[in-house]
Each structure stands twice: as C-alpha cells, then as structure tokens.
C-alpha cells in the first residue's frame, strides 16, 4: 500500500469534525510539493526568501486561523530563536552601557553632565522594557551577563576616561539591583 493510499484510508476513518482539517492538510502537502519542485527546477522562490514582511503576515494569519499545516515551521523556529538571541544581545549591550556610565559617573564626578544622566536613564529604561516582556528569563539572563558586561564596561571606561584600568574595581562594586535602580547614583570609594 502506498503512502497516499494509507493517508486516504486514515482520512476516511476520521470524524466529520476533523475531516476538513485533514483535507486542508492534503491540499497543503500537495501545494508544498509543487513549490519544492518549482524551486528545484529554478522556478519562483518561497515567500520567506523574496518578501519577508509578507511571509510574516501570512504566517501570523495562518496561526490565528489555526491552519497549522500552512506554517513554515522551520523558518518560524529560526526566527523565534533569532528573536531570543537578539533580545539577549540587546540586554547585554544595554547592561554594558549602563555599567560604563555608572563607572564614569562614580570615577569622574567633575565631568558629570545632563547627557551622562540621560545615558544612564535611557539604558535603565531599555533594560526595563526588555524585562517587562520576559521578566523571569531576562532577569536571570541579566544576572548571567552581569560580570562579563562589567569587565567590558570597565575596559571601555578606562579607554574613554584615560584613567588607568586599575582605577576601576576588578569586580563590580554594585549589585544588579542597585545598577537597575533608578534612584541609584553611585559615588566611588574615596570620592564624594
């Protein structure tokens, strides 16, 4: 018995409530096979490769309509993983910039300016926006990245301020909670 005959026998045994979905699935499989064949023969490329925005709208509509057979699951999985990586990178960058400006704020008090204060507030707001969308996992990620981003911020602070690297503590002198607290404006030990 061929795969097609097996599939038709399975469909015949389905209750009427599931028959429409099964028929749609068969139509989709035939459509996908035709698209793959066209692509292999040099025909038109899939929408994902030619019009990403249209592809996203098509996929969203298929999800809302619960047409799971119409989903481009491989590309959807790639895009979701890419979104997570992008959020992690954004969190790391905002955290590094926040730590950099806190170091400069603490160790160059004579150069404090409204633009430094704005930079601190913007970094905190950006981190807060990321945390609002994924509080538990992003908070854990901020703790995982904290030491690495502090080390990067410390090196960058030394370059930007022309102060020796040893000026800045090797380990961050503040907690994650302090760094993210809008009311926290640090003073360096021995200053202020």
Task: Clarify whether residues 158 and 121 are in a common domain.
Answer: yes
- Residue range 54-109, pLDDT digits in tens: 888 888 888 898 888 888 888 888 888 888 888 889 889 999 999 999 999 999 99
CA separation for the pair 76, 83 (Å, rounded): 11
Location of structure tokens 């990178």: 89
Q: What is the pTM of this model?
A: 0.66
47 and 92 belong to one structural domain: no
Examine residue 63 and state whether it is found in any structural domain, yes or no. yes
Instruction: Based on the fold, state whether residues 8 and 103 are members of the same structural domain.
Output: no
For residue 132, the model assigns a pLDDT of 85
Residues 152 and 134 grouped into a single domain = yes
Q: Which residues of 79-107 are buried (b: 16+ CB within 10 A; e: fewer)?
A: beeeeeeebbeebbbbbbbbbbbbbbbbb
Please indicate, yes or no, if residue 190 is contained in any of the structural domains: no
Asked whether residue 102 falls in the same domain as residue 136, the answer is: yes
Domain boundaries, position 53: 3-71
Q: Is residue 91 part of a domain?
A: yes
User: Same domain, yes or no, for 91 and 148?
Assistant: yes
Q: Of 20-29, 64-73, 121-130, 142-151, which range is least confident?
A: 20-29
Q: How many domains does the chain have?
A: 2
Which of 71, 105, 125 is the last residue before a domain boundary?
71
| pLDDT score of 13 | 64
- Complete DSSP assignment for 33-94: HHHHHHHHTT-PPPHHHH-HHHHHHHHHHHHHTT-GGG--HHHHHHHHHHHHHHHHHHHHHH
Supply 86's token pair.
Answer: 């992008």
Q: Give the C-alpha separation, 185 to 192, whole Å.
A: 12
Instruction: Calculate mean pLDDT across residues 104-132.
Output: 92
**Tell me: the pLDDT tens digits for 143-163?**
899 999 999 999 999 999 999
């Amino acid at each position: 018995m061929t795969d097609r005959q097996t599939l038709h026998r399975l469909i015949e045994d389905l209750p009427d409530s599931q028959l429409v979905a099964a028929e749609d699935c068969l139509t989709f499989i035939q459509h996908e096979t035709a698209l793959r064949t066209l692509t292999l023969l040099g025909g038109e490329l899939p929408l994902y490769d030619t019009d990403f925005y249209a592809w996203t709208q098509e996929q969203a509509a298929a999800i809302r309509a619960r047409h799971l057979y119409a989903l481009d699951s491989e590309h959807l999985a790639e895009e979701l993983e890419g979104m997570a990586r992008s959020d992690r990178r954004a969190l790391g960058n905002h955290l590094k910039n926040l730590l950099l400006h806190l170091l400069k704020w603490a160790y160059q008090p004579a150069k404090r300016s409204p633009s430094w204060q704005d930079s601190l507030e913007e970094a905190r707001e950006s981190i807060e926006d990321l945390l609002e969308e994924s509080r538990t996992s992003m908070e854990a990620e901020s703790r995982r990245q904290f030491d690495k981003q502090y080390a990067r911020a410390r090196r960058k602070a030394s370059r930007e301020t022309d102060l020796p690297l040893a000026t800045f503590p090797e380990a961050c002198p503040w907690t994650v909670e302090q760094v993210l607290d809008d009311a926290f404006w640090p003073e360096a030990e021995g200053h202020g």
